[in-house]
Structure 1
Amino acid sequence: MKLFKHLKKISTAGLFGSALLLSACASDGLIRGTGDMGIVIERATGSVLVVDNTKDETITRVNGLGDLSHASAVYSRDARYAYVFGRDGGLSKVDILKGELVKRVIQGGNSIGGAISQDGKLVAVSNYEPGGVRVFDAKTLEMVADIPANDGSKTVGLADAPGNVFMVSLWDDGEIWKLDFSKGLTPAITKFKDIGTNPYDALISPDGRYYVAGLFGEDGLAKLDLWNEAKGVTRILDHYGKGEQKLPVYKMPHLEGWAVAGDLMFLPAVGRHELLVLDKNTWKEVGRIPVHGQPIFAMAQPGGKYIWVNFSVPKNDTIQVIDVQQLKIIKTMKPGKGVLHMEFTPRGEKVWMSVRDENRVDIYRTDSFEKVGSIEATKPSGIFFTDRAHKIGL
């Protein structure tokens, strides 16, 4: 009987303690999952909106992130923290559950993007000024590695690869570098030279095998097979614009927005009003799709049946949807001026679009193309949902 009374006291105390813990966590706003959360960059005000893509609403705004005129973000492994890379060289760590800026460091003078390592312990930033790549402890944002580029070359196309590896391209020198942190904080660096003129951005395939850099100075792309590095860099789509008059490039396309659907890949052609269609097994061109303007993002809807495309100025009020099986446009939409970015909910039933010049984010169903919601945002640009935490290269 005494033992039963003792156990009863322990049980009651345990329940009381649990209740206190739940109450404390609830007061901090922590009792919820992050799987349907994300952030929206407000480029003009140095702020981000923390959003819920189930309820289609804003949770809170976090201020003080500096110049976000060209910003991107990655997530911690537990999808609680967003690391935001600002144009002013700022690296910001945001707690999306608490809606707080945890820490911000100015790590360079002009940065263009970043990545997080496979184990989630390192955050890398690529820089225009002073060039090179700087790497930080994900918990503390203390710098753990400074990797200067040749003669201060701008670095672009920074992406994570399996094995705690970062891949990056050098704009000024036409090189690809592999930064291998698998053995510690002093990386083994492998340099692939003479890949082409002015790599402007790059992508890594969803399986982490191929790193592909677009070339601004010439028609073509540079491909590196990370499973067979000894073969070096090969050229694909060489001279894809041969015989055609070059158009002025109003905005560089983003290769990280490339689309893989079935056995096909869809890439924006630099300065052209078309998408290039490749066979993903051979990396050879199998078609082209004329589109409304110069494409910026070509994104595959989860499920792979449709490709959604947005465009640069002066035609950035339009979205076009391409049927992968038919290789033709099936829907043209006009959400508003300055459609800069799209993001699908994790399973693809909805798509969010930033409409910068009209200060809002629009939400559409992907099965009916019906607009089902809208949230106010100040000059919104990038939209980043937390499912990116579990994808290579995002």
Structure 2
Amino acid sequence: MATGGLGLVVERASGSLVLVDRLAHSAVGRIEGLGDLSHASLTYSPDERFAYVFGRDGGLTKVDMVNRSIAGRVVQAGNSIGGAISDDGKLVAVSNYEPGGVRVFDADTLEMVQDIPAGSKTIGLADMPGRRFIWSLWDTGETWIADLSGSEMKLRKLADVGKNPFDGVMTDDGSTYLVGLFGEKGVTAIDLWSKDPKPVRFLKNYGKKEDDLPVYKMPHLQGWAFTDGQFVLPAVGAHELLWVDRITLEETGRTAVHGQPVFIISQPASPYVWTNFAMPLNDTVQVVDSRSHAVVRTLQPGPAVLHMEFAPRGAEVWISVRDANVVQIYDTLTFAKIGEIPAQSPSGIFFTARAHRNGL
């Protein structure tokens, strides 16, 4: 069975996954027994054969895409928030809220090979080239880099990244790790190509003149967009997108949008970014042109839009509509709905093309 056209949709309420064929616009199977998937994410092995699913209950589950079954499962913590796979596909790392820190597992056997305690909630875990991982700590405002390429792990700690990092993301070229700050205004950039990386704050004063709105849902930095030489970031506590020059780290514009942005995702091979929003305005998706910073299209897929995933070349976007129990498929050229797949309270959508992207 070829895996290049497959993907998984998280059914958050039932602890299950729907296996989808994105080329046929169809569901081809369901995999059950994955525990609490209320905030689940996953990554793929380099050959697309296996998915590694990170559950809220601390479960790390290995799923066989060909046999449509669970190939292994371990409950490795009390509360996990995500994970990543090394560039060679040999190690899977999981970031934990409880007990905190990061644990690293053999991708084949799911045996733990490294425990890296931190005494802090861990967020923003991403893979780096050379069997390395990077993450940030909510409680201490630090970013750590673990190098597992040798017989002994090397751990580097960068202090004073900022107060209460809420998420972190790697740029598409792997050059920069961006950390969103919740405890203070601003974002921190870390140059990963530098021999001596140091945290650099920017956007330190955004929103200072206005009162923040209540934050109904934390934005997800894995959905930050990189397009047209710019970073596109959510303004936490505001109905805005922030545009920042990638080189100078200077703000270049703002876009007023429908609600508080959650995911901002670049449409491949185009100037457009798509964004969805936090409750109570979460029935809407907007498309924004990175050249003009203008909203060019507003769609209303239905109640509780949680996630979007593009086909690898950008021809389609799949949108999970949790409270309608459906995944909708749109043509990105015409914006017409071209397909629909039933799913139980769907959230994350993950195509196997992710196996070939860094920083996930």
Shared fold, TM over 0.5: yes
Q: Distance in 2 between matches of 1:146 and 1:45?
A: 30
The reply on whether 1:92 has 2:61 as its aligned counterpart is yes
The corresponding residue for 2:147 is 180
Alignment partners' CA distance in 2, 1:230 and 1:237: 23
- Cα offset, 1:87, TM superposition: 0.1
1:77 to 1:243, Cα distance in 2 relative to 1, 3 A: same
The AA in structure 1 aligned to 2:289 is: D
Which amino acid in the other structure matches residue 231 of structure 2? M
**Is 2:126 aligned against 1:129?**
no
Instruction: For residue 249 of structure 1, give the secondary structure of its aligned residue in structure 2.
Output: coil
- 1:287, CA displacement in angstroms? 0.4
User: Could you tell me how far apart the structure 2 residues matched to 1:179 and 1:269 are?
Assistant: 30
Please state if 1:192 is matched with 2:161: no
Matched residue, 1:162: 129
Identify which range, 32-41 or 120-129, moves more after superposition: 32-41
Instruction: Give secondary structure in 2 for the equivalent of 1:357.
Output: helix
Give the equivalent residue in structure 2 for 1:210.
176
Q: Which has the higher strand share?
A: 2
Per-residue deviation at 1:229? 4.5
Output the CA distance in 1 between the equivalents of 2:130 and 2:172. Answer: 14
Is structure 2 residue 22 aligned with structure 1 residue 56? no
- For residue 5 of structure 1, what is the aligned residue in structure 2? none
Match of 1:261 in 2: 227
> Which structure 2 residues correspond to residues 30-49 of structure 1 after superposition, within 5 A?
32-49=1-18
Which secondary structure state, in structure 1, belongs to the residue aligned with residue 353 of structure 2?
helix
d(CA) in 2 for partners of 1:297, 1:49:
22
1:344-383 correspondence to structure 2 within 5 Å: 344-383=310-349
| Cα 1:277–1:108 shift into 2, 3 Å | same
1:301-355 superposed Cα distances (whole Å, 9 cap, x missing partner): 0013111000000000000001122210011111000000000011110100000
User: What is the SS of the residue equivalent to 1:230?
Assistant: coil
Alignment match of 2:81 (pick from 112, 121, 129): 112
CA contact (8 A) 1:81 1:94 kept: yes
Work out the CA distance in 1 between the residues paired with 2:197 and 2:76: 35
Matched, 1:75 2:41: no
Going from structure 1 to structure 2, the CA distance change for 1:244 and 1:62 (only over 3 Å counts) comes to same
**Amino acid across the alignment from 2:207:** G
Deviations along 1:239-279, one digit per CA (max 9) or x if unpaired, are 21111111110000001111111212211111110000011
Tell whether the 8 Å contact from 1:260 to 1:304 is kept in structure 2 after alignment. Answer: no
- Contact 2:104–2:114 under 8 Å retained in 1: yes
Residue number in structure 1 paired with 2:198: 232
Instruction: Please give the secondary structure, in 2, of the residue aligned with 1:102.
Output: strand
Mapping 1:242-261, distance limit 5 Å: 242-261=208-227
SS at match of 2:196: helix
What stretches of structure 1 move > 4 A for 4+ residues in a row?
none
Cα shift readout 1:170-214 (whole Å, capped 9, x = no counterpart): 000100000111213x32000011211100100001111111110
8 Å CA contact 1:262, 1:304 repeated in 2 = no
What's the CA shift for 1:133? 0.3
TM-score, with structure 2 as normaliser:
0.99
**CA distance in 2 between partners of 1:305 and 1:206 (Å):** 15
Query: Which structure: larger Rg?
Result: 1
Write the distance in 1 (CA, Å) between the matches of 2:213 and 2:241.
15
Q: CA RMSD in A?
A: 0.8
Distance 1:166 1:208 in 2: 12
Q: Quote the Cα distance in structure 2 between the aligned partners of 1:35 and 1:140.
A: 24
Higher helix share: 1
Deviations 1:53-98 (A, max 9, x none): 0001001000000000000000000011010000000000001111
Structure-1-length-normalised TM-score: 0.90
Q: Is the 8 A contact 1:221 1:238 kept in 2?
A: yes
Q: Is 235-244 or 165-174 further displaced after alignment?
A: 235-244
